A and B are shown apart, each in its own frame.
With several copies, the nearest count.
Chain A
Amino acid sequence: MAVLSYIQAITKALAEEMKRDEKVFVLGEDVGVRGGVFRATNGLYEQFGEERVIDTPLAESAIAGVGIGAAMYGMRPVAEMQFADFILPAVNQIISEAAKMRYRSNNDWTCPITIRAPYGGGVHGALYHSQSIEAVFANQPGLKIVMPATPRDAKGLLKSAIRDPDPVLFFEHKRAYRMLKEEVPETDELIPIGEADVKREGSDITVITYGLCVHFALEAANNLAEEGIDAHILDLRTIYPLDQDAIIKAASKTGKVLLITEDNKEGSILGEVAAIISEHCLFDLDAPIQRIAGPDVPAMPYAPPLEKEFMVNKDKIEQAMRSLAEF
């Protein structure tokens, strides 16, 4: 096993899949010679050539739409949106086309495209380079949305996404890219889409979250362990469709649930998680379902003190976990 950063894990997954299956190709803005603005496709152009690592014109609807057409043909396109915020011009292609292709054609045509995009804040990216955009898509049957929290998950889930027979949106936390490192198996590990993962076993309170917040929660849990508070942490990993069983199990286990997202609070995917819990295990609850999220303002500002005020962080989480435990 080698220690890989989150972004190295992404690059490795891409390289391995391109090597394994020549139907796999990459397209997006600056993914070629430049290797991507974050360098997620670093080295692929050199290794696989310009026909399989395609620099596209600056047009997200075309990146998605051309990818969809190629996927219908039988290719396995991996499209990159330079920032998740810039996926919005492609919403019609993703929701009207990719998500509905199999269904509308009664299983005749399929659309095995993967769309990767860096999301998330805390990088001085201001309003348009910091957003969590998943809620826009988390109501579209036919789509799957994956948001890995660790390098190992990132690699194994991206490989699964590329092999998945249906369209997958794959959101990578841009602050995780270089911040997170861990040992990642050299083997061809596939991590199944649709399964949440218990990142920490615990018995006092349950934290359900995804993405970078998993780490904040784990750090907080470590601190709280010293105070005798034992947190159970479920990483959703796939945020659409949700792993209902895992959510119900995790919530029932402790009866005290804290949900965390970096997204704006109202209308985030946490609402659905809360609904699942209150539909299925209401009587197992010993406390109201708590949520920590970004505030309901459009997106995080640029100036450092303003960004800080917006961002969910370890301290906010730790405090909420503590009061929930004490409830």
Chain B
Amino acid sequence: MTINRHESLGLSDQDVLELYRMMLLARRVDERMWLLNRAGKIPFVVSCQGQEAQQVGAAFALDREKDYTAPYYRDVGVVLALGMTARELMLQAFAKAEDPNSGGRQMPGHFGAKKLRMLSGSSPVTTQVPHAVGIGLAAKIEKKDIVSFVTLGEGSSNQGDFHEGLNFASVHKLPVIVMVENNQYAISIPLKKQVACEKISDRALGYGIPGITVDGNDPLAVYQAVKQAADRARASEGPTLIETVSYRLTPHSSDDDDSVYRNKEEVEEAKKKDGVLTFAQYLRDLNILTDSVESDLEQSLKEEIDQATTYAEAASYAEPKSIYHHVYGE
């Protein structure tokens, strides 16, 4: 018999259903992106598939009215949970003027929206870690009740900025949560060729802060870890390093061919643990997700994504002459 694990976390049945809806929305949006890419309609996709559970679980643990985030390029689940819409993501994918992230200037996956307190991200990995620490520093100076949440891939945790950012945050006891989404690969490089530590969270000791490793396929485990870290942060106890372990179910991006460096069996094996499936099963076992709820859900997501796609495809590009704008403030 499946035990109800969300109640003790303070989550209602409605909360977890909403959590699941968000995970599924992320998955379905992502799947649609691939279809559009393969149809030649959008030039590039970088995927969240396999990481939705950790992304949505984490976002739900934040105060989405106050906290700041610096999501990385796979965080479709994070940004949806924070309030970005499927339509906005489609506008980004089609690089249209209305894309709130960059007006079509940046590639998909380069999120950012001031209205959501979501920092603008770039392509060079890990630069966002010090930025998130800077938000934490500002919060401390201004004595604001803000948690700064940042994510990155496990491969990216080998960049100098990871070390420098975490060290700064820990010395100054800043309200920062660094979540490493360990999906086992950095493009073609498997985990064991990226790091020699057992767990990415082992790095926390070097900063004198808690380091936690959780199952990234379990949104509730991630929710709990991020919630605790946020509580610590709000209590001025400093930063936390969280590692969420899962698997990248798609190639690195639409430009990648993963068959060169990993075999199908490995991917199939990982798919069995896919958080979208396992969490759905959990909800079904508890009778929260019934067949009818599920088919309504799928139906409404499909409509949402269809409309988003149609809208974005029809939307305009920015004016060519607009490229001269916003180099400096006026």
Instruction: List A residues at the B interface (Cβ < 8 Å).
Output: 25, 29-30, 32-35, 37, 51-52, 54-62, 64-75, 77, 83, 85-86, 88-89, 92-93, 96-97, 100-110, 124-129, 141-142, 144, 165-166, 295-298, 300-306, 308-310
- Given A104-B110, A124-B43, A306–B164 Cβ distance below 8 Å? no
Q: Tell me how many residues of B have a C-beta within 8 Å of chain A.
A: 76
Residue of A nearest to B115 (CB): A108
Q: Do A57 and B171 have beta carbons less than 8 Å apart?
A: yes
Residue in A55, A57, A69, A297 whose CB lies within 8 Å of B324: A297
Interface digits, B105-134 against A, CB 8 Å rule (1 contact, 0 not)? 111001011100001101111010111111
Nearest 3 CB-CB pairings of A with B: A69-B134, A65-B130, A128-B123
Q: Do B165 and A62 have beta carbons less than 8 Å apart?
A: yes
Q: Do A108 and B161 have beta carbons less than 8 Å apart?
A: no
A30 and B326 alpha carbons, distance in the complex (Å)? 35
Task: List A contacts of B261 (CB < 8 A).
Answer: 33-34
Q: Do B119 and A72 have beta carbons less than 8 Å apart?
A: yes
Residue of B nearest to A56 (CB): B168
- Given A69-B130, A70-B137, A301-B105, A96–B323 Cβ distance below 8 Å? no
Interface digits, B287-330 against A, CB 8 Å rule (1 contact, 0 not)? 00000000000000000000000000000011011111111110
A29 and B160 alpha carbons, distance in the complex (Å)? 16
Residue in B137, B189, B326 whose CB lies within 8 Å of A107: B326
- Given A25-B141, A57-B194, A92-B127, A104–B187 Cβ distance below 8 Å? no
Residue of A nearest to B189 (CB): A55
Sample of 9 A–B contacts (CB below 8 Å) = A69-B130, A70-B138, A75-B142, A103-B105, A103-B327, A104-B122, A109-B119, A295-B324, A304-B95
Task: List B contacts of A306 (CB < 8 A).
Answer: 104-105, 317-318, 320, 322-323
Task: List B contacts of A77 (CB < 8 A).
Answer: 134
Q: Do A72 and B131 have beta carbons less than 8 Å apart?
A: yes
Task: List B contacts of A106 (CB < 8 A).
Answer: 101-103, 105, 326
- Given A58-B155, A59-B167, A127-B123, A102–B326 Cβ distance below 8 Å? yes
Instruction: List B residues at the A interface (Cβ < 8 Å).
Output: 43-44, 68, 95-97, 100-107, 110, 112-114, 119-120, 122-125, 127, 129-142, 148, 155-156, 158-161, 163-165, 167-168, 171-172, 186-189, 193-195, 255-256, 260-261, 317-318, 320-329
- Given A55-B193, A124-B43, A108–B120 Cβ distance below 8 Å? yes
* Nearest Cβ on chain A to B163's Cβ, whole angstroms: 8
Q: Do B137 and A66 have beta carbons less than 8 Å apart?
A: yes
- Given A34-B261, A104-B106, A297-B324, A96–B127 Cβ distance below 8 Å? yes
* Nearest Cβ on chain A to B125's Cβ, whole angstroms: 7
A65 and B148 alpha carbons, distance in the complex (Å)? 14
Residue of A nearest to B134 (CB): A69
Task: List B contacts of A55 (CB < 8 A).
Answer: 188-189, 193
17 extra interchain contacts, Cβ-Cβ under 8 A, other than A62-B167, A72-B131, A92-B127? Answer: A35-B260, A55-B188, A59-B167, A65-B129, A65-B134, A66-B165, A66-B168, A69-B136, A71-B134, A96-B123, A103-B105, A109-B112, A124-B44, A126-B123, A128-B124, A303-B105, A306-B317
Q: Do A70 and B135 have beta carbons less than 8 Å apart?
A: yes
* Nearest Cβ on chain B to A308's Cβ, whole angstroms: 7
Q: Do B195 and A57 have beta carbons less than 8 Å apart?
A: yes
- Given A57-B158, A62-B167, A295–B123 Cβ distance below 8 Å? no
Q: Do B328 and A105 have beta carbons less than 8 Å apart?
A: no
* Nearest Cβ on chain B to A194's Cβ, whole angstroms: 9
- Given A65-B161, A104-B122, A304-B95, A166–B127 Cβ distance below 8 Å? no
**Centre residue among A25, A58, A103 by max chain B CB count within 10 A:** A58
Residue in B165, B195, B329 whose CB lies within 8 Å of A65: B165
A61 and B166 alpha carbons, distance in the complex (Å)? 12
Q: Do B165 and A105 have beta carbons less than 8 Å apart?
A: no
Q: Do A105 and B260 have beta carbons less than 8 Å apart?
A: no
Residue in A25, A66, A96 whose CB lies within 8 Å of B124: A96
* Nearest Cβ on chain B to A101's Cβ, whole angstroms: 6
Task: List A contacts of B322 (CB < 8 A).
Answer: 306
Q: Do B164 and A61 have beta carbons less than 8 Å apart?
A: yes
Task: List A contacts of B127 (CB < 8 A).
Answer: 65, 92-93, 96-97
Task: List B contacts of A125 (CB < 8 A).
Answer: 107
A88 and B160 alpha carbons, distance in the complex (Å)? 12
Q: Do B329 and A102 have beta carbons less than 8 Å apart?
A: yes
* Nearest Cβ on chain B to A92's Cβ, whole angstroms: 6
* Nearest Cβ on chain A to B17's Cβ, whole angstroms: 32
Q: Do A58 and B194 have beta carbons less than 8 Å apart?
A: yes
Task: List B contacts of A29 (CB < 8 A).
Answer: 186-187, 189
A61 and B125 alpha carbons, distance in the complex (Å)? 13
Q: Do B134 and A105 have beta carbons less than 8 Å apart?
A: no
* Nearest Cβ on chain A to B259's Cβ, whole angstroms: 11
A107 and B329 alpha carbons, distance in the complex (Å)? 8
Residue in A54, A67, A89, A304 whose CB lies within 8 Å of B159: A89
Task: List A contacts of B167 (CB < 8 A).
Answer: 57, 59, 62
Task: List A contacts of B255 (CB < 8 A).
Answer: 37
